[in-house]
Structure 1
Amino acid sequence: MDANRPMSRRALLTGGAAGGPMLRPPWAHEAAEFASRCTGCDACIRACPEGVLSPDPDGRPRFDPQAGECTFCGDCVRACQPAALDFAAPTRWPWRARVEPGCLPAHGVVCASCRDVCPEAAIRVPPGGRGAASIDPLRCTGCSACVGVCPAGAIALERAPLEEAA
């Protein structure tokens, strides 16, 4: 784990390290273009009503799936004067939820926290703890509402294949 990157609350309490790629806010340009445009002014972070953006070690905004749900309201884009976030950016939000092996129902424990908070009804949980939750990749928007509420830390965001992210 990068010593400059803060641990999530779950990682701190469970002794694990927060992993995975650095997620930029929705509507961010590709990495090089984003880095050349972003001034680290924090306007997008301050504008985010959901509080899911925070500064990375370089002062540029990152999306924190543990912090809650992105409603894709666009307030961050409208606040970004250098246009590092741009509704016309060439790529769409490519992230989708993935269920990992620690999913409680996969181990016989009744849990539906992820399903209950999913605004797109993209998560199915077998009744009575008889199998892991599953994600419908065509319904999932990658908002991360399910990530932070999972008591086992068994949901993460991953880059989706282009046909699923379209």
Structure 2
Amino acid sequence: MHSPSRRAFLRGNPAKTVILRPPWAVANFLERCSRCSRCITACPEHILQTGDFNFPQVNFQQGACTFCQACVQACPDNALILQEKISAWTYRALIHQHCLAFHGVECRSCGEFCDSRAIVFRLRVGGVAQPQLNLDLCTGCGACYAPCPINAIEIRPLSTVSLP
């Protein structure tokens, strides 16, 4: 996990500081990436942007990743490499406790945008349906991120995600 960026720390939001690199980023991505921005230009979903120190990072406010591999094909530095036995993306969604549904407000925005059906809502007698996240179905594509009206969704490394 990355340490909080100075910008996030000064904004008072150090909890959401995981910098998401493009799918298929190699372990030594920062050493290999020349910051040419070809992956950013190639991304048809426009979710890649220039981040701190001009390294590419994912911004799910723009949309979701379709794992189309355009970024990999555009990378001249071998900083993004397709490998059969390595998953494209080791990140998953996390639904925080400040989710509207957990506080009795009907909202299913995240589930409506989840194509893999990893987020479903379980009915509760006398209450609002509660979101349930299936980590096995979640691809970490970020489709659920932008639609959430209160930013209760975060995309984090799989090793740091647990169900609420």
Name the TM tier (shorter chain): 0.7 to 0.9
Q: 35, 39, 57: which is aligned to 2:30?
A: 35
TM-score by length of 1: 0.81
For residue 44 of structure 2, what is the aligned residue in structure 1? 49
Over 3 Å counting, the alpha-carbon distance change for 1:41 and 1:4 in structure 2 is: farther
- Among 141, 151, 154, which residue is 1:153 paired with? 151
Q: Distance in 1 between matches of 2:129 and 2:150?
A: 15
> Partners in 1 of 2:113 and 2:150 — Cα distance?
15
Aligned residue type for 2:22: P
Percent identity between matched residues is: 37
The change in CA–CA distance for 1:137 and 1:37 in structure 2 (over 3 A counts) is same
What value does the CA root-mean-square deviation take over the aligned residues? 2.5
The answer for the alignment partner of 1:21 in structure 2 is 18
Q: How many residues align?
A: 152
Post-superposition shift, 1:48?
0.4
Partners of 1:29 and 1:89 within 8 A in 2? no
Aligned counterpart, 2:80: 85
Q: Take 1:60 and 1:82, find their aligned partners in 2: how far apart are those partners?
A: 13
The alignment partner of 1:133 has SS state of strand
- In the other structure, the counterpart of 1:10 is none
Quick check: 1:4–1:57 contact (8 Å CA) kept in 2?
A: no
- CA separation in 1, counterparts of 2:142 and 2:73? 21
* Distance in 1 of aligned mates of 2:130 and 2:21: 29
Q: List aligned pairs for 1:1-166, cutoff 5 A.
A: 2=5, 17=13, 19-30=16-27, 33-88=28-83, 91-92=86-87, 93-127=89-123, 130-161=128-159
**1:63 offset after TM fit, Å?**
1.2
Which is worse superposed, 117-126 or 87-96?
A: 87-96
With structure 2 as the length reference, what TM-score do the two structures score? 0.82
